[in-house]
Structure formats: structure tokens, C-alpha cells
Structure 1
């Protein structure tokens, strides 16, 4: 008889020996800023996957690969050993329900605790609803000492606005703080309408400086430039359509 699928299932590919690793989360969200940033770090540092997380609170679907083979949707854990050991988390989706968000955040923190994580960075987008040419990185943290330290790296704390952080990026900090973990959320400004590699580049750049990581940002630069070309092309088409409509309206004045 086939084994029943568990509400949350963890499959370990290996259990690496890590020293005080820092957890970095970048799951899908606003502009996919966090996901793009973490995937870039994984690629640049050649981080190695060590675990997969499956959940019944992910969308009820499978992913079809380029070869036509399907797989279940999942979150993935990678590790990097260096001057600072890292655990990097990304994936296909976040949980669909509030209940699932809490369950998954607690499970992720269980894994982090087992590896001795004391510091968490969550990455995401800060939606402004308008196009952002030069995105800033905004932040929130679990204590004022981290706030003051991150300000030295140019991170903006919008103290007069307040607000909230929805999903894994917020819950991992809040629930982690209740377990005695410290952490910060780095959010790149973005329109929120499209996948934003330009904002992801700024987040990855700031985080790499904070952690002393030496990585290239060229691939994100290329993606950002490609997005700029596409955006400009769309704007050009829109301008042409507006001019055409204006011309047609003016022509109608001479009829009848």
C-alpha cells in the first residue's frame, strides 16, 4: 500500500556539518525579488542542495520539466561552507493558507534550530505600485541593534510608516524571535507588477556586503537590462497607439 502523503514532508539528501550557519530565505513574493536574489546567491556560490520540503498546503499541481517529466512543487534548502556558513531557502511557492504559513514557518525554524542557526535574513520586495528605476533596499529587524547596524549599509527603515510583512519573510522573523533567534528582512523597492531583477540585484548586493560575500552580480545586471528593453518597447508601443488614436480623433473632425 502506498504511503499517505504527510502534511509536511522533509527529505534530506545529506546532513552537512555547519558552524553557526545563517539562514537566508528567498521564497516567491512581490516582484519575486527575494527568490531571484537567493537563487543568484546559490548559483554564484555553488551552494549544494541538502533537503527538500513538501506540503499539502502548496498548490495542488505538479511542475512539468523541459523534458516533459513532472515533479511535485517544493521548497529547497541549500548550504554553503565558507568564512560564514549559510543555509539558503527558496522554492516554487509559499503556503496557500494562513494556517499553512505558520506550520511551514515553524518547520523551517525547526530545521534551522537543528543546524544551530541564530541569525536569519529574509528577502523580499517592497511594492510601491509604480515603476522604480533606482530601487532602494528597505528593512525591518528583530531588535534595534540590528536596525542601527544595517543603517550603516544604506538600508532604509521607514520608521514613520509602520506596516507589516506578510508570509514567510515576516513569520520567520517573528516566530524566530520567539525562539531567541535574531534577524532582519531586506526588501527591495519594486512596482510589484512584474518580476524585478533590478530590485533583486540591489538586495543581493547589500546582503553580500553585510556578510562579506564576494559574488558577481553580472547575471542579474543582464536580466535587469533585458527587462528595461522590454519595458521600453512596451512603452513605445503604448505611445504609438496613443498617437494613432489622437490622430484618428482629429481626422474625424473633418467628417460630416
Structure 2
């Protein structure tokens, strides 16, 4: 195969589509958000991108059928306009690979007339966050006000170290193409899958793009992860010889 190959699956005419990227990253925030959109809306697979920069492996489905690692674009009718959702299980394995693959993603998005880009991800805090804020970064300062109105925070020097991977390059390379591009990052511990942060990011995207989506399944997963986090905290407390909440009930 070539270094990068695009497989066109369908060529629908989309209405003022926005590219929404949700590839694996911190807390799997972006991936969870993108997959939630695909679960909640009727979606159509429109393209696959294969690259030798993806890990040398295949996925195996429930029936034992193999599929080569790739990224996928799905078209979603989100009401007044359409979304072009980019997701997958892998990112590139080299610096140059990130650039080449992101350029290809933008080529595909523009072939479906996507006029703006939203990269979804997480920003690590190092500790559990019950009510995550959403931080933002943009390719053009003119887009800050609209995002702030939707509750996005722009903090000086954050995220520390910048935005790595496809999410960051969609802003940098998208901006060079004149595409309005923003990255929405939910606060997350950085060491657990975080459905709550994914929901916070989607709630902002809802308001900015203009669509409605339910969150029952994400909220259920958030409750499950909360139980996992509580067990981890309990184990850490026991390992450190610290009293747990149960140990302290006799006080007061």
C-alpha cells in the first residue's frame, strides 16, 4: 500500500458540515465524545484513511474478522447542519507522520466541504475532577469570544506544553488553510477514562455548533468510573496507612 491511502465509501452532499475530531488522547475524552455522537445520531461511514504510520496490527471483531488499522469519517445529520466526525483507535507513531496524516484528514474534510474544525480532547490535572471545566485554543483570535460565551475558558499558559498530536495540528495546519479551527479540552485526571469530561466538551460543542444530544449513556459510564475512582482512592489510602472515611466515622 501507499504511505497513506484514502478509501471513499460514500459521497453524500452535506449541509454546512463541521469537522469534529475525536481520536485517542488524554482520558480518552475526545474519542468518547466522538463515539457518543455516533451512537446517538444516525451516521454514515463516508471514508477511511489507512497509513503505515498507524501501528502494525489489525483489529478483530466479535466474529473473528480482521480489519486493518485506520481512521474513519462518519457523516451525521445533527439537525440544522451536518457533522463530519473523525475517529479511530490510533494516532501516528512519528512526528512527520502526524503532519502527513493531519494534512490528509484536512484534505478529506475539505472534499466534503467542511468549513470549520473542532478538535476534542482532554487536559490533564493530575487529580480527579468532579465538575470539569472546558479549556479552549483557537487558530484565530477572532473565534475566542463565541467560545467564551459558550463557557469555554482560555487560561494563560494552558495547556502547559501546548497541544500534541492531531488535535493540535488541526489548529496549526487548518489555520494555514484559512479554516476556522478550535480545540475543546475537558479537564481530566489523566489516568482514567473520563466520560464526565467528554460530556462537558460535548455540551460546549452543542451550543457552539447548534444541535441537541442526550447523555444518558455517558452519565451511566461516568457513575461506573466514579466507583472505580473511589476504589482506587481507597486502595491508595490503605497503602499509605491513611484512615478511610469508614475509619473516621466514630469521630465527632
Give the TM-score taking structure 2 as reference length: 0.90
Give 5+ residue unaligned stretches, structure 2: 244-252
Which one of 167, 170, 174 corresponds to residue 169 of structure 1? 167
SS at match of 2:31: helix
1:202 offset after TM fit, Å? 0.6
Whether the 8 Å contact between 1:23 and 1:89 is mirrored in structure 2 is yes
Counterpart residue number, 1:60: 56
Counterpart selection for 1:216 from 206, 214, 220: 214
Distance 1:165 1:51 in 2: 26
Partner of 1:253: none
Q: 1:53 to 1:160 in 2, by over 3 A?
A: closer
> Which runs of structure 2 are paired with 1:40-119 in the superposition (5 Å)?
40-81=36-77, 82-119=79-116
Aligned pairs, number: 241
Residue aligned with 1:48, SS: strand
Structure 1: runs of 5 or more not aligned:
246-256
How far does residue 71 in structure 1 lie from its aligned partner after superposition? Answer: 1.4
Q: 2:229 aligns with which of 211, 231, 245?
A: 231
**Partners of 2:230 and 2:12 in 1: how far apart?**
46
Q: State yes or no: 1:24 paired with 2:4.
A: no
Cα distance in 2, alignment partners of residues 169 and 32 from structure 1? 13
**C-alpha RMSD of matched pairs (Å):** 1.7
Q: How far 1:181 sits from its partner (Å)?
A: 0.5
Deviation of the 1:20 alpha carbon? 2.5
Give the drift of 1:69. Answer: 2.2
CA distance in 2, matches of 1:165, 1:92: 19
The secondary structure found in structure 2 opposite 1:175 is helix
Q: Are positions 1:144 and 2:144 aligned together?
A: no
1:7 corresponding residue in structure 2: 3
Offset at residue 242 of structure 1 (A): 4.5
Contact 1:153 1:206 in 2 (8 A): yes
| Higher gyration radius (CA) | 1
How does the TM-score come out when normalised to structure 1?
0.89
1-structure distance, mates of 2:105, 2:238: 50
